[in-house]
Chains A and B, each alone.
Chain A
């Protein structure tokens, strides 16, 4: 560990397992000591989560891209009459999962979709019921806080009732997306039709109380300030103190291509991505897992991110749709042996997990 003048204080806090303050977080974003930040995050990662790196053999299921919210940062959502709009039938979903199930290691589904303007909650629910019934061994992680709040709005049920019915249908975890930046200033500008920051947090809180684990995320690199990134991390940290129900935290760098912000915003640099990853690990001292989502980071950056605080590299995915609409240059899926090679080269131990981080196989 290298000590550098004014950074000593923060370094000492981390070595003493003391919590970083808002000011510390802002200071870290302002500093440019990348390998110092990485080394600290790596120290914390090792202490909190050891040398195992988690991945899953999974399949993404995006039921529809027709969406009533049409957020400015999104290249996936469409109006019903737009070219390229689609809405799966139950048979379509079964076909996709049947195909992905040819891999005997497939352990779970990740279901996130647009807010379809005419679908009812029962329609979404029926996908979970049928997929769970047809593929009982697959774990189903589904829906972000945004979708859950939407289901409550369109059905007249409470968030709690929605979650209870989804759980009964076979849902085992909630996806981490839709958090974007948890401040209403940013949300009003970028995604005014999405749930508010408080609503997003409330869905997570309610799920945790019902024993449903959720993930958390941050979409950064658009119009937010660095203080708002820190605010976002602190709000997640506070809820985690309260419930302990977040499993992993995912950093999403914003990909501007094909979005309404394309002309005004440049994609983040890898420098910013790794800094944000390391600072997230340092600020989120009560999170067990930090994910390097290779789809957005690209595989080479995701691999290096394993030394900047990450201990989770997401999954094989089968076929990624949402971010490839926004110009993601990474492949649409990764072979399991490629994930294993990436993790091993970093000197760490690969472990395949289901969506609740139960270890299925440790790859010796």
Chain B
């Protein structure tokens, strides 16, 4: 039985292969996956659960990619459209409290803004908050920067590092399959481009996160392929810090409407988290991104392999545009309480998982 082999491998800490992963998925034994993933988590990070004090800045929502999966982007002229001027960025950055550890910047693919606009935004953050981590831009944005500036990935990334970016954001991976991308985000970078940006960044010493967006039109096989691609690249570079799982929120999206999609349940969310933790044996950290999961399910995720509740976040706009019901920010005290209730120990971290 493949399932028995899979379980045997899990208990002896051996690497899972495709058919074994599929067998575990189909077995659907939620608490077995939870208990196994939690043990793996404890090997990596013991009783610690990380969080950080961070702030999200979305520079613009004007976008030329028009991905069917997205509820955030719009055309310029739309009454929801906004693009921050540098003075506005400065205001947001200066309003941060002294406890801030990380600024997270991700945005849409603006049709007119030049690479310098983004570089200047980073330089500004760096100037005002020189000791704060800047986790910025997904590979989708990096590919766009390369296109609009005529530079290659390596040159773009080097410029960003010089400007102050300390790590790359993990978004935009969606499902790393060109069949899926053709339907959900045809104008975004290809699967191999996404991976190539990450490979290049890691080689330049720039760490990054990774992600998967599931629960739309992908097959289970494609989810597994996605995880295996990430695992292979991590074997090669070791540059991924944390993995995040994004359940697809269909409200207000073209994709949701076209395929009549419903948000997958919390069961699927927790199952994918635990299973991914077991598959990605070379990833140290897994985020339970409470903005997407809601706080109660994010708390429960700490029992399913997650070791990081991400952060206080401030003003989240992208996922709330797709109908997320969580609040847009949370206090440090509230995060610590949620963690302590589970019997784990809250640990504040910086951008690189150093304890504070």
Residues of A near any B CB (own CB < 8 A): 2, 32, 34-36, 38-39, 42, 269-272, 274, 298-301, 303-304, 306-307, 329, 338, 341-342, 345-347
Contacts and interface: CB of A to CB of B under 8 A. Distances in A.
Nearest to A273: B296
A301 B296 contact: yes
B192 interface: no
- Which 4 residue pairs are nearest across A and B when measured between Cβ atoms? A300-B266, A32-B343, A270-B296, A347-B28
Contacts of A2: 35
Residue of B30, B269, B341 with most partner-chain A CB within 10 A: B30
Interface in B315-356: 325, 338, 341-343
Given A35-B35, A35-B38, A269-B296, A345 B265 contact: yes
A39 B274 CA distance: 15
Nearest to A34: B303
Interface of A is mostly: helix
A345 B304 CA distance: 17
A270 B299 contact: yes
Contacts of A345: 264-265, 267-268
A21 B264 CA distance: 39
Interface in B21-43: 28, 30-32, 34-35, 38
23 contacts: A2-B35, A32-B342, A32-B343, A35-B34, A35-B303, A38-B34, A39-B31, A39-B35, A269-B341, A270-B297, A271-B300, A274-B300, A298-B294, A300-B266, A300-B294, A301-B266, A301-B300, A304-B30, A304-B297, A338-B262, A342-B265, A342-B267, A346-B265
Nearest to B266: A300
B31 A307 contact: yes
Interface of B is mostly: helix
Interface in B107-162: none
Nearest to A307: B30
Among the interface residues B31, B262, B300, B325, which one has the most CB atoms of the partner chain A within 10 A?
B31
B210 interface: no
Interface string B259-279: 000101111111000000000
Contacts of B28: 346-347
A346 B266 CA distance: 9
Contacts of B270: 304
Nearest to B298: A270
Contacts of A34: 303, 342
B250 to A, nearest CB: 13
Given A32-B342, A347-B28, A341 B265 contact: yes
Nearest to A346: B267
B265 A35 contact: no
Interface string B279-317: 000000000000000101101100110000000000000
Nearest to A278: B31
A301 B267 CA distance: 9
A342 B266 CA distance: 9
Contacts of B268: 345
Interface in B18-66: 28, 30-32, 34-35, 38
A271 B342 contact: yes
Nearest to A33: B343
